[in-house]
Structure 1
Amino acid sequence: MSADRLDVIIFGASGFTGKYTVFEAVTVLGGLRWGIAGRNREKLEGVLKEMGAKAKKDLSQVPIFIADTSDEASLLEMARKCRIVVNTAGPYRFHGEKVVKACIESGTHHVDVSGEPQYMETMQLKYDQRAKEKGVYVVSACGFDSIPADMGVVFVEKNFDGVVNSVETFLESGMKEGATGSGSGGSAGLNYGTWESAVYGLAHSDELRGIRQQLFPLRLPKFYPVLRPRPLIFRSTEVDKVCLPFPGSDRSVVMRSQRFLYDQDKKRPVQMQAYVGFPSWLAAGAVILFASIFGLLSKFKIGRTLLLKYPGLFSGGLASRSGPSEQSMERTYFRMTFKATGWPKGDRLAEGSDQYTEPPTKSLMVRVSGMNPGYGATCVALLSTAITILRESEKMPNNGGVLAPAAAFSRTSLISELEKHDHGMKFEILANK
C-alpha cells in the first residue's frame, strides 16, 4: 500500500451522520492523517467550517475529495487515496455496494454503520472471497447498530468464566431530566436517511431467506436448551420495563458473528434474542400500533411514498428530514442490559458441537451504555473500528473478508478503545452468579 495514502477518508461527510463523524474524528483520529469525501465541495467545506468551530479546531487544511456513487471512477480514485474508507453514505441498499467494490479493488479497508441485513449479508455473499484475496476487511454495523450488541456478547463471553448458552438483550433509551421532552420514554429521534433505510429494509425483508440459503447452505447444529423468544409484549424483571422484540439488526448481526466463530474456531455459538423496553404498557401499545401501520404501508409502493413523504406523522415525531437537535442528541442515553446463562468452567465440553445434558447453572448480567447513541456513540464506534483495523489487523481473522463486528474484532482491543472517548461506550458487569 502506497506510503502517501491517507489513513482514513470519511465518505458522505456532508450528510447528517457524516458531519458528526467529522466532529468526532478530531479527537478519535488524533495522530492519523485523514480527509473527507462527498459529492459537493461547497458542502464539504461547510462541514469542515461548522465542525471545526464546534471542535474549536481549524480544519481548513483537511483534504477534500469529490466522489459520487453514480461515478465509479471517482470512488476508485477516492479509495486509492487512503488505507480505510469510513462510509457514512446510506441508505446502503442503494449506495453501499459500489463503495465496497471500489475499496476491495483498491486494496482499501471499509467500515460503515449499516443496519440493513439484506445489504450486509449480500456483501458477504458476493465479496467475502475477493476481500480475502485482496487482504481487505469490510465490516458493517459499526455504529449503534450493532456494536453494543455484538461486542457486548464478546464482553459477556470474556467475563463468563464458563460456556455461554444464551444471551437476552434489553435496550432502553431516554432523555436525561432537564431536556425538552425529557423522561424515561423520550428520544432524540432519527435523521431522514435512517428512516429511509428502515422503510426499504422492511419492504424487502422477504429477500433475506434466499440470501441466507446461499450464504449458509449448511445449518448450524441445534444446541440445547433452546432459547425461545418471549411473548410479543411482556414486563421484564431484568430491567423493569414493558418489552417488545427489538426490530433492528442486532440479532442478525450477532448470529452472523456466532456462525463465523463456529465455522472458523468450532466455538459453541451463543443463542441470542433482542428486546427493547418501554416505561409503560401504554407506550409499548402505541409502538405496536405505529409499527403495524409502518409494516403494512412499507409493503406497497404508495404506502412507501407516504412513509417517505411524511416521516414525522408515521413515526410519532421520531423521524424528520431535518434530524434531531443537538440538544436532544446530547441528552439522550442508552442502556443495553445482557442476561447470559450457561455452565461454569469446570463443565466445559471437549468439542464445540457437543451437547450438555444438564440445564445451565450459571448466569451473568452485564450492561453496555452511553450517551447520544445515534450520532455520538455511533460515530465514535465507527471511527474506533477503523483505528482497530489499522492498528491490530494481525489480531483479525483470515487476512481479510466481509465480516460482522464481533467476527472481526473479538480478539482486538476495540472494547478498550470504545471506553476511551466522551461519546464512547461503557462495558460493565452487573451481577455474576
Structure 2
Amino acid sequence: MPASDRFDVVIFGASGFTGKRVVQELARIGRNYTDITWAVAGRSRNKLKTVLEEVSKKTGDDLSNITIIADVNVEDEASVKDMCSQSKVLINCCGPFMKFGEVVVAAAVESKTHYLDVSGEAQFIELLEEKYDKSAREAGIFIINACGLSSIPADLGVLFLEQNFGGTLNSVESYLITYFPPRMMNEVRRSGIVRYSSWESLINSMASVPLKKMRQQQSPNIVPELKQRCLLHKNLNKWCLPFPGADNFVINRTQRHLFSLDGKRPVQYKSYLTFPGFFTALGTIIGCIFLFILCKIPCTKRLLLNYPRLCSFGLVTYGDPKEGAMDESRFQYEMLGSGWNEGSDLRKTPDKKVVARISVTGLDPAYTGTATAIIFSAITILRERDKMPVTSGVMTGGVAFRKTSILKHLQENNIKFEIVKNSE
C-alpha cells in the first residue's frame, strides 16, 4: 500500500491491558492532532469494537469512525504483514515480545513501517539489533524498543541532565522511588496486580541469562569509573538495591551508540531501586535470588509458569488488574549526576554535582505513562523525522529522539523533568 494511503498509526494488541491504555491516551492526545489518522488491530473484531466503545464512553470522544483491523494473528505471517502494510508507524502492545514480537518486526521491515514497542526484554532487543538493524536501515525505518515507562523517562532523563549540567557529565546514579496507595496493596491481596504476560516475560528473561554473564563486570574504559555500589546500601534516607529493570541496558546502549555516532564521551549509568525499610529490602534480595535459581531449573520453571498466583504469593493475575487500583501511585527518578565544570581538567576528581528529578504522576501512571511515552514517540517520527538521525535502523529512544521536542510534550503530559540541585 502506498505510504500516502496508510494510517499514520496502528495500535496492535489494542484489546490487551496496555493496548487499551494506548487507545485511551491516543483518543485524548489526538484532540490536538486531528490530522493524524489511526486504527486498532488484533485478533478479535468484537473485542476491538468493545474497546473503542468503552473508551468513547469514558472519554466522551466518538471513536465509531476508527478503523478496526481484525483477524491479525502472530502465527499467521500474512495477516501481520497485511496489518503492517496499512501503517506508517506500528505500535506493538502484544507481548511477551520474545515470544510474539519477531514476526511483527520482520513484517514491519518488509512493509517499510516504523516499529515501536514497550518491550523491556533485553534478549529481544539484542536479537533485533543483531538480526534486523541492517535491513531496517535499508528499508529506511526505525525500530525502537522500550518506548514506555521503561525506558523513555530514564533514557531521556540522562540526556536532560547532560544538557543542563553546564560542563562535562561523567556519571549518573539513578534512584527509583515509588509510592503505592493502600487500595493497590489491598487489590494485590485480593486478586493480584501483575499481569501473567509480564510474569511470563520475567521468568523467561531470568531463565535466559547465563550465570557467567551475571558475574561479569564491565571493563573500565572511562576514567574515573563509576563503581557499582554494595548490593544493599543506604542513600537518600532509603535502603537501596540494584534496579533489575531494562533501564541500565537501554541507557548503556544509548551511550555506546552516541559514542560510535558522534564520538561523544559516554555517560556512565547505574540504577537502583529504593525501599523505605531495611527488612523490606533484605526480603526482596532473598526473594529475587530464590526466584532466579528456580528459573534456571526446568521443572521449577514450569511450576512458576503453570502456577503463577501460588508461586508469586498472589501477585500475579491471569486477568487484568482492577481499573483504578494504581491511581495515586507515583514513580520518581532521582538522578545524581557527577562531573566537571566547564574548563576543568578531566583528569582530576569530578568537581561538580547536579541532581535531576523525573516524576511520573496522574491516573494509573505506570500504564498511562507508558501509553503517553509511546504515543509521543510515534508522533515524533511522524512530525519530526528531520530532527532524528539521518540513518535509521534499530536504536533506542535516547538516540532517536535526542534532538526532537518529545521531552517538551512529555513535560506537558504528567512526565516531568527538572533540575532540583546544582552543587558547583
Same fold (TM over 0.5): yes
Equivalent position amino acid for 1:146 in 2: S
Structure 2 counterpart SS, 1:328: coil
* 1:382 and 2:374 are equivalent in the alignment: yes
* Offset at residue 130 of structure 1 (A): 1.1
| Residues 1:112 and 1:197: Cα distance change in structure 2 (over 3 Å) | same
Structure 2 counterpart SS, 1:268: coil
Q: How does 1:325-336 map to 2 (within 5 A)?
A: 325-336=322-333
**Which of the residues 33, 37, 43 maps onto 2:37?**
33
- Report how many residues are paired: 409
Match of 1:204 in 2: 208
Match of 1:222 in 2: 221
* Offset at residue 5 of structure 1 (A): 0.8
* Offset at residue 47 of structure 1 (A): 1.2
Structure 1 stretches of at least 4 aligned residues deviating more than 4 Å after TM superposition: none
| Residues 1:323 and 1:179: Cα distance change in structure 2 (over 3 Å) | same
* 1:342 and 2:347 are equivalent in the alignment: no
Match of 2:66 in 1: 62
Q: Is the 8 A contact 1:5 1:82 kept in 2?
A: yes
Determine the C-alpha separation between the residues in 1 that align with 2:376 and 2:289.
Answer: 36
* 1:45 and 2:46 are equivalent in the alignment: no
* Range with greater deviation from structure 2 (255-264 or 311-320): 311-320
* 1:135 and 2:140 are equivalent in the alignment: yes
Determine the C-alpha separation between the residues in 1 that align with 2:193 and 2:178.
Answer: 11
Match of 1:231 in 2: 230
* Offset at residue 297 of structure 1 (A): 1.4
Q: Is the 8 A contact 1:294 1:314 kept in 2?
A: no
Q: Structure 2 length as normaliser, TM-score?
A: 0.92
Match of 2:316 in 1: 319
Superposition RMSD on alpha carbons, in Å?
Answer: 2.1
Match of 2:276 in 1: 279
* Offset at residue 29 of structure 1 (A): 3.0
Match of 1:305 in 2: 302
* 1:265 and 2:270 are equivalent in the alignment: no
Q: How does 1:140-151 map to 2 (within 5 A)?
A: 140-151=145-156
Determine the C-alpha separation between the residues in 1 that align with 2:177 and 2:193.
Answer: 14
What is the CA deviation profile of residues 111-170 of structure 1, one whole-angstrom value per residue up to 9, with x for unaligned ones? 000000010111011111111111101100001111121111011111001111100110
Q: Is the 8 A contact 1:172 1:336 kept in 2?
A: yes
Match of 2:355 in 1: 365
Determine the C-alpha separation between the residues in 1 that align with 2:107 and 2:184.
Answer: 43
**Which of the residues 85, 95, 103 maps onto 1:80?**
85
Structure 1 counterpart SS, 2:339: strand
Structure 1 counterpart SS, 2:325: helix
Determine the C-alpha separation between the residues in 2 that align with 1:29 and 1:400.
Answer: 26
Equivalent position amino acid for 2:422 in 1: N
Q: Is the 8 A contact 1:290 1:314 kept in 2?
A: no
Equivalent position amino acid for 1:157 in 2: E
Equivalent position amino acid for 2:392 in 1: G
Determine the C-alpha separation between the residues in 1 that align with 2:232 and 2:224.
Answer: 23
Match of 1:165 in 2: 170
Structure 1 counterpart SS, 2:174: strand
Q: Structure 1 length as normaliser, TM-score?
A: 0.90
Equivalent position amino acid for 1:83 in 2: K
Determine the C-alpha separation between the residues in 2 that align with 1:400 and 1:220.
Answer: 29
Q: Is the 8 A contact 1:9 1:85 kept in 2?
A: yes
| Residues 1:129 and 1:207: Cα distance change in structure 2 (over 3 Å) | farther
Match of 1:120 in 2: 125
Equivalent position amino acid for 2:3 in 1: S
* Offset at residue 207 of structure 1 (A): 9.8
Match of 1:352 in 2: none
* 1:109 and 2:123 are equivalent in the alignment: no
* Offset at residue 325 of structure 1 (A): 2.0
Q: How does 1:92-107 map to 2 (within 5 A)?
A: 92-107=97-112
Q: Identity, % of aligned pairs?
A: 40
Q: Is the 8 A contact 2:388 2:404 kept in 1?
A: yes
Determine the C-alpha separation between the residues in 2 that align with 1:220 and 1:267.
Answer: 19
Structure 2 counterpart SS, 1:164: strand
* Offset at residue 301 of structure 1 (A): 2.4
Q: Is the 8 A contact 2:39 2:68 kept in 1?
A: yes
Determine the C-alpha separation between the residues in 2 that align with 1:316 and 1:280.
Answer: 20
For structure 2, the residue ranges without an aligned partner over 5 or more in a row are 187-191
Q: Is the 8 A contact 1:86 1:112 kept in 2?
A: yes
Q: Is the 8 A contact 2:327 2:365 kept in 1?
A: no
Equivalent position amino acid for 1:391 in 2: R
* Range with greater deviation from structure 2 (9-18 or 29-38): 29-38
Structure 1 counterpart SS, 2:3: coil
* Offset at residue 221 of structure 1 (A): 7.5
Q: Is the 8 A contact 2:16 2:94 kept in 1?
A: yes
Equivalent position amino acid for 1:402 in 2: V
